[in-house]
Amino acid sequence: MPQVKIVAKNFMDMVASLPAVKLEKLYENSFICEAILRSLTPLAKKYVLQLLYIEGPVPAKWFEEWVLRDGVSKHNVAIDRLLQLRIFSETVERKKETNYVMNPKFQHNLQKCIVHGGVLPREPMLPTATGRLLSPNDLDAYAAQQWESFLLHLMNSAEAERSTNLSSSIMKVFQRGLLTQKDDKQPPKLTESGFQFLLMDTNAQLWYIIREYISNCEDRGVDTADLLSFMLELSFHYTGKAYNLNTLSDVQRDIIKDLADLGLVKLQQGRKDSWFIPTKLATNLSISLAETSSRKEGFILVETNFRLYAYSSSKLHTEMLRLFSRIEYQLPNLVVATITKESLYKAFQNGITAEQIIMFLQQNAHPRVALRLPCVPENVTDQIRLWESDLNRIEMIPAHIFDEFPSREVFDSACEYARDIGGLLWESSKKMQVVVKADVFTEMKEFLRKQK
């Protein structure tokens, strides 16, 4: 069963995978060097700062002397990351001693950034040019609404806003595993990975989409290093501040429009100028997935009788519950549903697993029960797993049945032949019937024709 996996936890994994030439291009910008420094572990930052003004190779044993015995694993992780990002390069002398040398371009630009201060990619617009901007709460609400509309569009729900127009670049991200379409006459449908994607944590969903968006940028004629550079630039912008769109290149404007579909920025038009306003989603792009994953307030209560109460007015929450439960009735701020065998079987057939459903219920548990252990009744979680195991007990194998054999000898030889080619599934000597796998049907038919 295909699974949606977050291959890259943050941009640094994607940066590390770039060829050396493109990495050198990135390191020409001092703010990129600073963003990469921010992303490093505390020990890796320490190593970079200690070598910042040292030219030439430094013995590896020096680093080992700086670390206590219980910090060896952290030391190895830090060195591996610095080597992956080519901030450090490894050399071996004649005495077979390993040395580390810092990337000269990265070293020079980071020195310049620390001594003289980093130069921001662009300055925010003055309030007199933009007028009153959204408050932080309103901006967060906008980002959440955009993301909800985005997911509703993905689900192709009847509740989704039909006016939602996603860019072709974002739609191509969907087509890379989340959606499938047989022909132009039929609407796109979610794949198994698409259903699994919907039950993921919001931060994990965002990182998946961003990773896929960057992965296929070459198909749109956008250089990967340029796209990563611009994404890292956004982490230096202030949340809620307005930035003039005229300061962007044509490619960057296209990227901003795509990011607006996801709620990472808000686009606004003034009398003279147009501008974009970064949300928290954009300014946290250079931070790791683990650092951005904070527990949000849940909304689901599950009872031992499999009744489920969702205290939410979100259309998206309702449609997500519909993936694995039967909606009983809805109030303006409450959805009542029941987890049934039939609703779970439908979810399993769509590729959603029992563990993903249980994880979703646990992660979104209402504050009243979130601190309990377990927050979802054990009889409910056990039954969900049992119903999934029921489906796994039966294996569906396409097959063909042969009967009405002219003689016992032909039947016995047919069984023997099917057994020899590994296609025999079942035989009845009394009824003179044999069942074989579908992929050996042609061979069996040809064999029986020769027996006549």
Separation between Cα atoms, residue 330 and residue 282, nearest integer Å: 34
Tell me: the pLDDT tens digits for 242-257? 999 988 988 899 899 9
11-116 fold: Arc Repressor Mutant, subunit A (1.10.10)
Start and end residues for every CATH 1.10.10.10 domain found in the chain:
11-116
Supply 15's token pair: 């940066």
End-to-end CA distance of the chain, in Å?
A: 44
Q: Apex CA 41: angle with CA 37 and CA 45, to 5°?
A: 45
Percentage of the chain surpassing pLDDT 90?
A: 30
Do residues 228 and 26 lie in contact, with contact meaning Cβ atoms separated by under 8 Å?
yes
- The mean pLDDT of 25-38, rounded to a whole number, is 84
Alpha-carbon distance 358 to 199, whole Å? 10
Peptide bond before 124: cis, by omega within 30 degrees of 0? no
**Amino acid in position 55:** E
Dihedral sign of CA atoms 406, 407, 412, 413 in order: negative
Task: Tell me the pLDDT tens digit for each residue of 57-85.
Answer: 899 888 888 888 888 899 999 999 999 99
C-beta neighbour count of 321 within 10 angstroms: 23
Q: Residue 227 in contact with residue 211, Cβ under 8 Å?
A: no
Class of domain 399-451: alpha beta
DSSP H or E segment with residue 64: helix 60-65
| 154-161 average pLDDT score | 53
Residue ranges of alpha helices (H) inside 71-220 are 72-84, 104-116, 127-130, 136-155, 168-175, 192-198, 202-215
Q: How far, in Å, CA of 83 to CA of 94, rounded?
A: 21
User: Distances from the Cα of 302 to the Cαs of 7, 19, 354, 362, 373, in angstroms?
Assistant: 32, 50, 15, 10, 13
**Is residue 158 pLDDT above 50, yes or no?**
no
What pLDDT digit, counting tens, does each position of 175-230 carry?
A: 667 777 666 666 667 777 888 888 887 777 887 888 888 887 877 788 888 888 88
User: For the stretch 354-387, what's the b/e string if a residue is b when 16 or more beta carbons lie within 10 angstroms of its beta carbon?
Assistant: bebbbebbbbbbbeebeeeeebbbeebbebbeeb
Question: What percent helix, strand, coil does the chain show, rounded to 5?
Answer: 50, 15, 35
pTM of the model: 0.68
Angstrom distance (rounded) from CA 389 to CA 205: 27
Q: What is the mean pLDDT of the chain?
A: 84
Residue range(s) in the chain whose domain bears CATH number 3.30.70.2610: 399-451
The Cα 95–Cα 103 span in angstroms is 23
